[in-house]
Amino acid sequence: MKSTRRKNRIEALQVLFQLDLNQELSIQKALKHFEDFYSLDKKQVDEFTHRLVMGVTEKLESIDTVLKEASENWRPDRMAAVDRNALRLGVYEILFCDDIPATVSINEMIEVAKQFGSESSPSFINGILDKIRQLNPNPNKAK
């Protein structure tokens, strides 16, 4: 399950990255484009991938506000696109997915950053997401 969920997170990151760089693209077109050209099995994106993409895009304004507050001296629009979108995914999971433990979300985004980000991305993402976790305690969150 862990590897499947990581694959879903990577797919969500790729779709969000595409949407971030081409803001005229609709969410549905971005998902379809991903399915047609980047999905290894050419199947429709998984339900979890879809949940992440839709959730991040629906909550984008509040996610970016949280990111801006937690990342001193770094506005989201000044972050590397991969880091920004990995952070958006992590923030979405931490704040809005009570079924996913915050530590799991943070660790998964660190692993994704190791694969797609720069050398400093994993520590950058870890620091910001851990700060967000600490500033937003949630007693209903899975442990």
Give 67-105 pLDDT, tens digit per residue. Answer: 999 988 788 888 999 999 999 999 999 999 999 999 999
Structural domain includes residue 18: yes
79: tokens are 């972050």
Q: Are 112 and 16 in contact (CB under 8 A)?
A: no
| Greater model confidence, 70 or 43 | 70
Number of domains in the chain: 1
In this prediction, residue 64 has a pLDDT band, given cuts at 50, 70 and 90, of very high
Size of the chain in residues: 143
The mean per-residue pLDDT over the stretch 131-137 comes to 93
The mean per-residue pLDDT over the stretch 104-128 comes to 96
Residue 34, pLDDT score: 74
Structural domain includes residue 63: yes
Structural domain includes residue 140: no
Residues 43, 34: Cα–Cα separation, whole Å? 10
| Amino acid making up residue 62 | S
Residues 83, 53: Cα–Cα separation, whole Å? 16
Structural domain includes residue 83: yes
Angle in degrees, CA 85, 97, 110, rounded to 5 = 40
The mean per-residue pLDDT over the stretch 37-64 comes to 84
* Residue 73's CATH number: 1.10.940.10
Structural domain includes residue 51: yes
Structural domain includes residue 75: yes
The number of CA neighbours under 13 Å toward the Cβ of 12 is 30
The mean per-residue pLDDT over the stretch 6-25 comes to 90
Residues 54, 31: Cα–Cα separation, whole Å? 10
* Mean pLDDT, the chain, integer: 89
Domain hosting residue 88, numbered range: 2-135
Tell me 71's DSSP state: S
Residues 76, 84: Cα–Cα separation, whole Å? 6
The mean per-residue pLDDT over the stretch 6-22 comes to 91
Q: Per-residue pLDDT for 1 more than 50?
A: no
Structural domain includes residue 141: no
pTM of whole model > 0.85? yes
Residues 2, 97: Cα–Cα separation, whole Å? 16
Structural domain includes residue 143: no
In this prediction, residue 66 has a pLDDT band, given cuts at 50, 70 and 90, of very high
